[in-house]
Structure 1
């Protein structure tokens, strides 16, 4: 009964026929068990994805798709997709990751080893060594600078309640953040903060200092789940210093960031940077370091991912040094994981209490993986 069911699936999608001259030969299941990834792809996958992986197939076949077939020769698409996600799609069908429902499930046809062999053949359409792999696209933290070069848009709200000059101050800030990849290992980013300061003596809103950045992933190894990145940011004095929205000078920010996966269940990330005002009268440089741990509990992309973060700030040339911890929850909303929210509460643990309490958060959209209303 199982074989008849599988045979119907193959017939449905026109995938079990190998043409030899004018005679159609049915491939039996014993033969399928001996096939490697390249043979499986060219026999069963190429009809819908193209023998060269480009997705250039006859129009009558393409019309049966609910979305156009992907281009496996696109290096950004090919390398940013983690192998475990492609495994899930091949084994369980496109629906499992919110992708095309035309993509059938092959878990009862091919072994896990064969599926991963097919994936490596698809990956071979691109020089994998030139691009950071999707396995290293770890879950974003709040204070740790992300090491992976990314294509994301975020809204990053922060709410701080503090005492300043004897007055209680409600400080609400929302950073608009945009990042995009270019070349093989580079990323540029733009950050624009909008801030509101409210107390018994003021209630003002304005933009802060515009930040621009460039990042380069100089090392990655998807097999041991590690990546290292160097970057440089600088802020422009676009915010009003008098109103508390800016620093009144250009600030240079070089940094290093790294990440390491411990198996498939724990992600470690860290970064260290120096914020150096060009006008030294505006303040001393600050060393800012952060560490983050995230626990991968769900099997898929959608779910709740708890973690904790540590962030420290040391003023160079002075004694000021503060350390905080941030328990946090990251919630991936879609089956692709491309829409997510995260929230954390920051607690000072060393060097005094510069604020009474602070909440941090963000709303994330990985825009290349789908629209806001797709993948649910």
Structure 2
């Protein structure tokens, strides 16, 4: 059977220039094409032979959004191959992307689609960058191993009995992270805190934090990544009012993650918080393990999980362990907007509070605006 390309791709018009009307390809020939041949025949008309998306204006003007640049290292590497597969097979709308991107699932086999993906991935040196398969769902306490570009609001609400009074402690952490070079990320954190009891109601700024991390190992095929990092906080919070520690605190850490098949994500981190002024407190060992269950097929949906958090005072016998059941809800088809909520439950070492709720609102800002991708 023969297919005249414009007839086959009439569904995808007006993406292609009129000079393709003379081309004829039959199904048997299509079945023998490798990823590069498919890309150059079917994809390059909109994305460019070199992957940069520099195509004639008469084609580009028909797009609802400009074609992406596949030679952009961060863009090329930050999304997992299964999401590229979904877009090629089912079209752009399946991931909240361009309405103009057609579905090729009835034209190419799955093997051919993945071969096209590897050709697109070859526009950059994949070994230099952590792959999107390792961009696991963020936990509440366990430090994320993947280097990210995201902004978060991280609220924590604690209700406790202290000094003869019931006290509510509400903290909102403003968090911003960005990548640079090939494997680095910097981050800034600013906490705003409110302490309320029968004798006071005080709001203030906490200790400002800066952080740097480096993903020194990753393997997307066995779904594993290891990262080392360093944070330090400045004593910008009022110590007398309970908003700061009154000294610089240094926090080196190591964190890692491992995917178990396609349905379970395991993450873990170990850090030491060390006050520079030792009179302000002993160093603490803080460790955590997080598990998340991947239920949805796409990026939007509900992802349940649980965390274990441990804190050991290195200058005393004080040691506390908590469990945090949690639910992560990705709101958009791209998964770039999400909320998560959990409850921390002490299981060892006493009961320092009556109850504590943790949460965050996440915006992966490089993947789209707040109102896109729904």
Relative to structure 1, the CA distance from residue 186 to residue 296 in structure 2 (aligned partners, 3 Å threshold; closer, same or farther) is same
| More deviation, 263-272/6-15 | 6-15
Per-residue deviation, residues 325-349 of structure 1 (Å, max 9, x unmatched): 0000000000000000000011000
> For the Cα contact (< 8 Å) 2:208–2:234, is it kept in 1?
yes
Match of 2:9 in 1: 10
Match of 1:108 in 2: 106
Please state whether the residue corresponding to 2:216 is helix, strand or coil: strand
Q: Distance in 1 between matches of 2:198 and 2:60?
A: 64
> For the Cα contact (< 8 Å) 2:284–2:311, is it kept in 1?
yes
Q: Of 169, 176, 190, which residue of structure 2 is paired with 1:192?
A: 190
How many pairs are equivalent? 373
Q: Distance in 1 between matches of 2:3 and 2:346?
A: 64
Match of 1:42 in 2: 40
Please state whether the residue corresponding to 1:304 is helix, strand or coil: strand
Matches within 5 A, 1:122-271: 122-271=120-269
> For the Cα contact (< 8 Å) 2:158–2:168, is it kept in 1?
yes
> For the Cα contact (< 8 Å) 1:336–1:369, is it kept in 2?
yes
* Structure 1 runs, 4 residues or longer, greater than 6 Å off: 2-7, 14-20
Q: Distance in 2 between matches of 1:316 and 1:221?
A: 34
CA positional deviation for 1:13: 3.8
Please state whether the residue corresponding to 1:70 is helix, strand or coil: coil
Please state whether the residue corresponding to 1:269 is helix, strand or coil: strand
Q: Distance in 1 between matches of 2:265 and 2:295?
A: 11
Gaps of 5+ in 2: none
CA positional deviation for 1:11: 3.4
Match of 1:317 in 2: 315
Per-residue deviation, residues 225-251 of structure 1 (Å, max 9, x unmatched): 000000000000000000000000000
Relative to structure 1, the CA distance from residue 24 to residue 252 in structure 2 (aligned partners, 3 Å threshold; closer, same or farther) is same
Task: Give RMSD over aligned pairs.
Answer: 1.8
Match of 2:287 in 1: 289
TM-score normalised over the length of structure 2: 0.97
Relative to structure 1, the CA distance from residue 48 to residue 16 in structure 2 (aligned partners, 3 Å threshold; closer, same or farther) is closer
Q: Distance in 2 between matches of 1:317 and 1:40?
A: 63
Q: Distance in 1 between matches of 2:267 and 2:4?
A: 46
Q: Distance in 1 between matches of 2:48 and 2:66?
A: 12
CA positional deviation for 1:81: 1.3
Per-residue deviation, residues 243-262 of structure 1 (Å, max 9, x unmatched): 00000000000000000000
CA positional deviation for 1:25: 2.5
Q: Distance in 2 between matches of 1:26 and 1:6?
A: 6
Gaps of 5+ in 1: none
Match of 2:270 in 1: 272
Please state whether the residue corresponding to 1:157 is helix, strand or coil: strand
> For the Cα contact (< 8 Å) 1:18–1:27, is it kept in 2?
no
CA positional deviation for 1:8: 3.6
> For the Cα contact (< 8 Å) 1:6–1:109, is it kept in 2?
no
CA positional deviation for 1:7: 6.7
CA positional deviation for 1:9: 4.4
Q: Distance in 1 between matches of 2:250 and 2:45?
A: 53
> For the Cα contact (< 8 Å) 1:323–1:350, is it kept in 2?
yes
> For the Cα contact (< 8 Å) 1:18–1:43, is it kept in 2?
no
Match of 1:97 in 2: 95
Please state whether the residue corresponding to 1:212 is helix, strand or coil: strand
CA positional deviation for 1:29: 1.2
CA positional deviation for 1:350: 0.2
Match of 2:29 in 1: 31
TM-score normalised over the length of structure 1: 0.96
Per-residue deviation, residues 251-299 of structure 1 (Å, max 9, x unmatched): 0000000000001000000000000000000000000000000000000
Please state whether the residue corresponding to 2:154 is helix, strand or coil: strand
> For the Cα contact (< 8 Å) 1:310–1:323, is it kept in 2?
yes
Per-residue deviation, residues 24-46 of structure 1 (Å, max 9, x unmatched): 23111111011000000000000
Relative to structure 1, the CA distance from residue 240 to residue 44 in structure 2 (aligned partners, 3 Å threshold; closer, same or farther) is same
CA positional deviation for 1:18: 11
